[in-house]
Amino acid sequence: MNKIIITVVGKDTVGIIARVCTYLAENGVNILDISQTIVQDYFNMMMIADIAGAKQPFERVAADLDLVGKEIGVMVKCQREEIFTSMHRI
Amino acid sequence: MINIYEVNETNNMIQHENLDVRTITMGISLLDCACSDLAQVKDRIYQKITTTAKDLVSTGEAIERDFGIPIVNKRISVTPIALVGQAACQGPEDFVSIAGVLDQAAKEVGVNFIGGYSALVSKGMTRADEHLIRSIPQALAQTERVCSSVNVGSTKTGLNMDGVKLMGQMVKETAEATRERDSLGCAKLVIFCNAPDDNPFMAGAFHGVTEADAVIHVGVSGPGVVKVALEKARGENFEVLCETIKKTAFKITRVGQLVAQEASRRLKVPFGIIDLSLAPTPAVGDSVAEILEEIGLERVGAPGTTAALAMLNDQVKKGGVMASSYVGGLSGAFIPVSEDQGMIDAVNVHALTLEKLEAMTCVCSVGLDMIAIPGDTSASTIAGIIADEAAIGMVNQKTTAVRLIPVIGKGVGETAEFGGLLGYAPVMPVNPFSCEKFVSRGGRIPAPIHSFKN
């Protein structure tokens, strides 16, 4: 297991999750958990995914998702899970 | 599992509250580069630095990408050069040539500063120590990335007043040597009392002789995060205030700990310490002064400032030590004037004076930092200010430092521009009365007694 956190923030529009998930499916990234909220009209999604079986290395997945985000006008950010667990878990 | 609110909290800190890791500093021992042939010493130093630190910058950048956290600086500290060059350097000019090599090595590996052009003279000066100290003005004028520091006293040894007097002159000469750049050389020169061996922050970083061959230290930051957290605690009592600061400091430090462990693992260099300091930058919202104002001061420098800072500093440490088992360096709130917009504003409205800053340094790290003073301030007055600050450190068993910039050609009311992270500073007035006879006495101030505390 090699967990990453994908966050998507931007103006709500049709097909945001679909586009991101399509990319992940095509590249062998397994989604473990999805949650989303709308904060002041802004779409806010977080995914926990496993890249242990991914076809691409982490850097490439992060760069590609950044591009996918730009195409649909949202910000997609990819980070390794440890930064969140170290900050929020003792 | 991590939830969306925790993820958003972390990312908001990074994106909107200026959370960053301020520096990954690799300490490198140069003791094995010492020999009596200068050319060989220089060659060995260059080889050792460029080999040991060759992957430092790329590794730092990879960690930034992986965790999505900015790592602002990648830096190197080395063994005090007065020790390394002792056998080979016959005069100040030989030391200047070593500074040139350090500068080249820093450029080669891509770090923005290299610290350790230093001498430790808390009790006495060797011939080499004195040569190095006398070479500082030229070394800082002729190099771009080299930082220098001199330790002139400690709680155990007392104050070397000959060293203090000499440093007053060197600060002045460094200012003269870099006068066309608003005396920028002085921004790279720190005079310490009780200097730590493992400080990752410039300009005072050096790799102490008690350290291993190479080691990774990390300095965290995040005044903006503390400020925003305190906005939610407006009007609450001190218990709530302290809890908020501690929790925030814990979170900030855990990020530093993660980055330090990753850097250590990837570079195969042992992890040294985390420095818990709240280090401001000139960016709005990244200011220690703004935290103090959020705590309830109209301006920094108002009555209550010292108490507020003492509380802040203590809570940052209490939260931080829980987050990392190896805390070291300076660890506290930094109050550099030129690097903190809130401090600059307070000076401009006459809320903050040099004397109040001195009082503040009694309760926080590190000292009188990045303060511009009139260019015509005498060397003996600068030595007097150094002696005062060192005495505070000596008596209170803490690190204190002085980084003053006598801006040649400028007076009170004018502004010195240093650029980048070093910022800009209004020139502050200095007490005009002389201490010439005091600093000219020569010798040492003995170590203080450690009983009968009052």
In this structure, are residues B75 and B26 in contact, taking their beta carbons and an 8 Å threshold?
Answer: yes
Q: Do B255 and A5 touch (CB under 8 A)?
A: no
Three-class SS state of B35: coil
User: Of A44, A80, A84, which has the smallest distance from its Cβ to B6's Cβ?
Assistant: A84
- pLDDT surpassing 70 at residue B454: no
Averaged pLDDT, A69-79? 93
Q: Does the residue B357 lie in any domain? A: no
**In which band, very low, low, confident or very high, does the pLDDT at A39 lie, cut at 50, 70 and 90?**
confident
The parent domain of residue B88 ranges over 18-193
Residue type (1 letter), B83: L
Q: Does the residue B119 lie in any domain? A: yes
Q: Does the residue B13 lie in any domain? A: no
| 3-state secondary structure string across B161-209 | HHHHHHHHHHHHHHHHHCHHHCCHHHHHEEEEECCCCCCCCCCCCCCCC
Domains recognised in chain A with CATH numbers: 3-88 (3.30.70.260)
Give chain B's domain count. 1
Where is mean pLDDT largest: B97-111, B221-235, B355-369? B97-111
In this structure, are residues B36 and B88 in contact, taking their beta carbons and an 8 Å threshold?
Answer: yes
- pLDDT surpassing 70 at residue B192: yes
In this structure, are residues A41 and A63 in contact, taking their beta carbons and an 8 Å threshold?
Answer: no
- pLDDT surpassing 80 at residue B421: no
Q: Do B4 and A35 touch (CB under 8 A)?
A: yes
Q: Nearest residue of B to residue A86 by CA position?
A: B254
In this structure, are residues B400 and B367 in contact, taking their beta carbons and an 8 Å threshold?
Answer: yes
Averaged pLDDT, B62-91? 96
Distance CA B132, CA B114 (A): 16
Q: Does the residue B179 lie in any domain? A: yes
CATH number at residue B53: 3.20.70.20
Q: What is the pLDDT of residues B8-25, one digit of tens each?
A: 999 999 988 889 999 999
Can you give the pLDDT at residue B180? 94
Q: Do A82 and B67 touch (CB under 8 A)?
A: yes
Can you give the pLDDT at residue B51? 97
Can you give the pLDDT at residue B366? 80
Q: Which residue do the tokens 């591009």 mark? A: A67
**Does residue B31 come out as left (phi exceeding 0), alpha (psi in the -120 to 50 range) or beta?**
alpha
Q: Do B4 and A83 touch (CB under 8 A)?
A: no
Output the CA–CA distances (angstroms, integers) from residue B354 to B197, B291, B361, in the order listed. 28, 20, 11
Q: How far is CA B136 from the centre of its chain?
A: 17
Best mutation target among A83, A85, A89 (most B Cβ atoms within 10 Å) is A83
Can you give the pLDDT at residue B423? 87
Best mutation target among B7, B14, B69, B252 (most A Cβ atoms within 10 Å) is B7
Give the percent of chain A with pLDDT over 70: 100
Distance CA B151, CA B120 (A): 5
| Residues of B with Cβ-Cβ distance to A81 under 8 angstroms | 2
**In which band, very low, low, confident or very high, does the pLDDT at B149 lie, cut at 50, 70 and 90?**
very high
Give the percent of chain B with pLDDT over 70: 100
